[in-house]
Chain A
Amino acid sequence: MILLIDLCYRNGSLGFDEFVRPVARIVRHSGNDVIPVHFRSLTDPLLSRAEAVILCGTPLADTAFLAEPGAFSWLKETSLPVLGICAGMEVICTIFGGTLRPCTEIGMTEVSVIGNDPIFQGSGSFSAYEIHTLACSSKQDLEVLAVSNQCIQIVRHPEKTIYGVMFHPEVRNNWVIDRFLTCSVEGIISP
């Protein structure tokens, strides 16, 4: 089972349809069961049942999740594969020693892969859909795998199977989610 965590400001918000449901479709299409859960309702039993976790994005104006870092402290302990999308990457950056700075990208942006990784191997550069007003600083305990001309686009924890992507892979880059799931399930990526 793949756990999809909704980071929107409240459970059952309109943001769920836009940022969680499209990811759930891709995950189900790849043959996995999905359980969506709001970040304030996440429990240890749910985490223990998951094979991997995806932290989904939020509407541009929705940054309420940043005021509740305690809700994400489990990331420090977990050995599960985790993919953070946009807001999810912002959470991962702040939990692992980074800070956020204002940086707005809305629309299609060129992403250049600069690091070696089983998920992004051979990707070179690709066009991706962005919708964010914040970006991660480079001072963090994470490896930078890709950049745009404005900010860091992909990070990976050096010792955990935790990834963050600033772009929205559910729009025109389903392959990122597919490869993350394949690599997670097959153990190609491991701590």
Chain B
Amino acid sequence: MRLGVLCSGGKDSLFACMMAMEREEVVCLIALRSRNEESYMFHTPNVSLVPLQAEAAELPLVEMPTEGMEEEELEDLRAALVCAREKHRIDGVVTGAILSIYQAARVQRICNTLGLWCFNPLWYTDQESYLDSLIRNGFRVIISGVFSEPFDEKWLGRPLDRASVVLLNQYRERYGITLTGEGGEYETFVLDAPFFKKRIEIVEASSEYHNYRGFYRITGARLVGK
């Protein structure tokens, strides 16, 4: 089965991509480039660097701009999937949805009307085991945005490693965050994945933070050998 992976640049979509590669044929990544940082559907920090990830993975990329306005952005998603079907003959779509019924149901509806399969291999996964597996499989992930208490500025650009997971577990117990950030508490960016032929090196980046809300903007990055 030929699959396209909806990719935001974050850990969930790229881990789902790895799972899809183990079982089926992944023929492209699909990215919605939202201009709205409050998008209901598509996460935004560093989504402009998905082309570099696609190059690292040696996968073609279908990229579609979107204003990121509620519901209207679904038309842009539909257009992106139609484009992926025409260009890369995909039979189905893979997402990194874990808990979000809002996102999963909308993608399912669009796939259903287009006659495409839809897979959510991380759906209702055990979040602790998933993060453990992410690290064990050699993913290199950084925090690219924080959007809730108690995340401070020091989290921006921080690697998602075992020490971070220990802290995230504490935040889950004390502040009720979802461990994987599925509730929008934090966002991530993947610098390396087991299926990347090259890894991403950050050359230049800046942080912007105010009152539990911050972005780590990568303004310069390149591919280097692994």
- A contact set with B: CB distance below 8 Å: 12-15, 17-18, 21-22, 25, 59-62, 104, 106-108, 129, 131, 133, 170-171
Contacts and interface: CB of A to CB of B under 8 A. Distances in A.
A117 B115 CA distance: 38
B101 A107 contact: yes
B123 A18 contact: yes
Contacts of A14: 19-20, 23-24, 94, 119, 121
Please provide the 8 A-B residue pairs with the shortest distance between their CB atoms, ordered closest to farther.
A107-B105, A22-B124, A17-B121, A14-B119, A61-B117, A18-B123, A106-B108, A14-B23
Nearest to A107: B105
8 contacts: A14-B23, A22-B124, A25-B126, A61-B115, A106-B112, A107-B101, A133-B112, A171-B124
B133 to A, nearest CB: 12
A59 B118 contact: yes
A13 B126 CA distance: 19
A108 B125 CA distance: 19
B142 interface: no
B144 to A, nearest CB: 25
Contacts of B39: none
A177 to B, nearest CB: 12
A17 B108 CA distance: 16
A15 B119 contact: yes
Given A17-B19, A106-B105, A133-B112, A62 B125 contact: no
Interface in B68-117: 92, 94, 101, 105, 108-109, 111-112, 115-117
A87 to B, nearest CB: 14
Interface of B: 19-20, 23-24, 92, 94, 101, 105, 108-109, 111-112, 115-126
Contacts of B108: 60, 106, 131
B118 A60 contact: yes
A131 B118 CA distance: 11
B116 A22 contact: no
A61 B116 contact: yes
B24 A17 contact: no
Contacts of A104: 112
Contacts of B19: 14, 17
A152 B124 CA distance: 25
Nearest to A104: B112
A61 B125 contact: no
Given A61-B92, A61-B116, A22 B123 contact: yes
A50 B24 CA distance: 31
Contacts of B119: 14-15, 18, 59
Contacts of A129: 101
Nearest to B121: A17
Contacts of B20: 14
Contact of B23 (A12, A21, A25, A131): A12
Contacts of A131: 105, 108
